[in-house]
Chain A
């Protein structure tokens, strides 16, 4: 697989690797939203955690861990960079196609960017569920 420079850069120097505590600690912490997507059998698992400042409503920190190929690692690393400083709605608006474009992913690696978008959405949903915030998508869906 020929990789672009940005994938290699993220792979060799992944940003924001880690988590905000053990699985149990994170589950109990209302400031944290967790997205865990993919499956070991599929060769990709992404874990994305966001920390939200309740006063400003901004995502003030994000961490990831990833089991997967170089593109999967790069996509999740990039997602953490993009999430920092965004509102939840801005985070929800991140599209996999933007990740594809930024990292110049080849067609066979597009699923890595889809997984990263899923991880972002899943982490934000988790935060909203923990804090009783109705999701925009549900509102939109019920409007129809």
Chain B
């Protein structure tokens, strides 16, 4: 991490990575560490009953935000676990042939999914399933038509994120869900970035399985949920984790009561506040983008211009490398598609998946605003980023070449 020990205020523009807990969430959780500490599995004393009541309340709060029934909510440790359970659990349940044989069934996903979806799908490929990873267009959107043309007679599962974590682009989820239901294919969506920003109704949005995470929505880390549809169609899963049979047998293990209470409270807060918050964040994000794009040349906003989450923007700054840009603006916490921000030395596969060149992928910043982001912070950050880009372009040999009219794509670069 870049050293943040600075006297200047630190601006947090990385809400797509994680959010702070809302103090109201923490307040709801606190009694469950000490006073109401029982195990909801203890059916024969009041400590257990009190904990169970807290879990019931949280389950209703999560279900209400999704338009689901409370019996359809499975608590997990987070969206990664929810995705694993949904994808591997549905594949095992609806497989066309038993383990050890080939042609066990076909799965459709997309190349710009989160690793917590890609890796389980690739695991299933090794275990006898076929997978098709759709390529989005340059706007990053996966459409129902793309899914339709990938469907096969043996397709058993479609798993597509509702909104992308790096670029915020929104897929045609209700239409894709309808298509899956017409063909009797199970439909899972990783809604980690969507929930809390945009409205969900799992029934009318035609979703069978939906993953969400607590810490992306002002709840605590280490807790998430999986929605599992119970009616029309009833969806079943093979459990991955076995033991005490909690969560209808789908997820054994003593419930994380404090975390679940926090997740429930976080969901409840959105019931009243989400629409206003969305409008406010949308306004701030548009302002941030407008300031930056009006003051700099060779800047592009990545992904579809309109089909995107309100709070998130991903911008490539030509001729400037992302990590050095973050170093120049170290009072602002952001993330970059630059390889230099990771150990892998590969730039963002999501941006590459949109056909964005490696050079612009290295030059990208993701900024995601949140509940406590102020207009002043947006103004400050926009100024700081513009200033840093100007400074770094003065250092950039590529910007000189661009100004001299040299096409840098025509230079024979020595691959390093």
Contact = CB atoms under 8 A, between A and B. Distances in A.
Interface of A: 1-3, 11, 14, 17, 19, 22-23, 36-47, 65-70, 72-73, 108, 111, 115
A43 B327 contact: no
B218 interface: no
Contact of B1 (A1, A14, A72): A1
B398 A67 contact: yes
Contact of A70 (B1, B324, B404, B413): B324
B414 A39 contact: yes
B342 to A, nearest CB: 9
B340 A45 contact: no
A65 B397 contact: yes
Contact of A43 (B321, B401, B404, B415): B321
A10 to B, nearest CB: 11
A45 B397 contact: yes
- Using C-beta atoms within 8 Å of the partner chain, give the interface range for chain B: 35 or more
A111 B339 CA distance: 13
A38 B358 CA distance: 13
A14 B395 contact: yes
Majority SS at the chain A contact face:
mixed
Given A2-B3, A73-B324, A73-B395, A67 B340 contact: no
A37 B415 CA distance: 9
Contacts of B339: 42-43
Nearest to B347: A43
A67 B338 contact: no
A70 B397 contact: no
Given A37-B414, A37-B416, A43 B2 contact: no
Contacts of B30: none
A108 B343 contact: yes
A19 B400 contact: yes
B416 A69 contact: no
B73 to A, nearest CB: 40
A17 B397 CA distance: 10
